[in-house]
Amino acid sequence: GAVVSQHPSRVICKSGTSVKIECRSLDFQATTMFWYRQFPKQSLMLMATSNEGSKATYEQGVEKDKFLINHASLTLSTLTVTSAHPEDSSFYICSAQRAQETQYFGPGTRLLVL
Amino acid sequence: GEDVEQSLFLSVREGDSSVINCTYTDSSSTYLYWYKQEPGAGLQLLTYIFSNMDMKQDQRLTVLLNKKDKHLSLRIADTQTGDSAIYFCADPGGTGGGNKLTFGTGTQLKVEL
């Protein structure tokens, strides 16, 4: 149990375009989902926390207009990188949590902006 | 804010034991976690320890917790090449199993034949 998927696993896009990444909890309902960003050989940086049906809470320094998060259901959250630029290239990882239990992580999405 | 530190790199020979260390600053943590990340993949929860425990053993994994020194360690017995990965300790702070995990810097474990 507690499987989290992400789609796509890899995406290459042109500068200026928007990219949507999906995070799904496959076998449980996630009251909270988290979005992280990881640079090469670095730790995970929390970008935002989203609760189903409410606005996401962004960490300091993360632009909410740049990284749009929608948590429309208890099994799906999406992260949209708007007007992507090369500096947005990174590994994006989501996690899902049921109540106050452990976070379960998705496999990550590698974004490359050309 | 919370600070979680790890050594960056560890190299061991196959069959030896590996010990990965972690220090943290938030003393209100109810749990502490260890995650494993293989190249290009997400994080896999390896094990966790309650803050009222000193030690937890799970097959080849042993977690030691020294609350006084705020020091956590992960010992992998009989290390195999498949154990090569980055290992992160994570601290949820005073929220128990819940929100805002603070991750350590990660320790890259390299297992040599």
Q: Is B24 on the interface with A (CB under 8 A)?
A: no
Select from A24, A45, A102, A110 the residue whose CB has the most chain B CBs within 10 Å, as the one to mutate to test that interface: A102
- For residue B98, the chain A residues in CB contact (below 8 A) are 32, 97, 100-101
Looking at residue A52, the DSSP 8-state letter turns out to be: T
Q: Is A114 a residue whose pLDDT tops 80? A: yes
Q: pLDDT tens, B78-103? A: 999 999 999 999 988 765 445 678 89
pLDDT digits (tens, 9 = 90+) for A55-81: 899 999 999 999 999 988 999 999 999
Q: Say if residues B37 and B86 touch (Cβ distance below 8 Å).
A: yes
**Among B42, B99, B101, beta carbon nearest to A107:** B42
Is A35 buried (19+), middle (13-18) or exposed (0-12) by CB count in 10 A? buried
| A70, amino acid identity | N
| pLDDT at residue number A102 | 82
Residue ranges, chain B, pLDDT below 50? 96-97
HEC per residue, B8-77: CEEEEECCCCEEEEEEECCCCCCEEEEEEECCCCCEEEEEEEECCCCEEEECCEEEEEECCCCEEEEEEC
pLDDT at residue A2 above 90? no
Q: What are φ and ψ of residue A108, in 5° steps?
A: 95, 155
Q: Is B46 on the interface with A (CB under 8 A)?
A: no
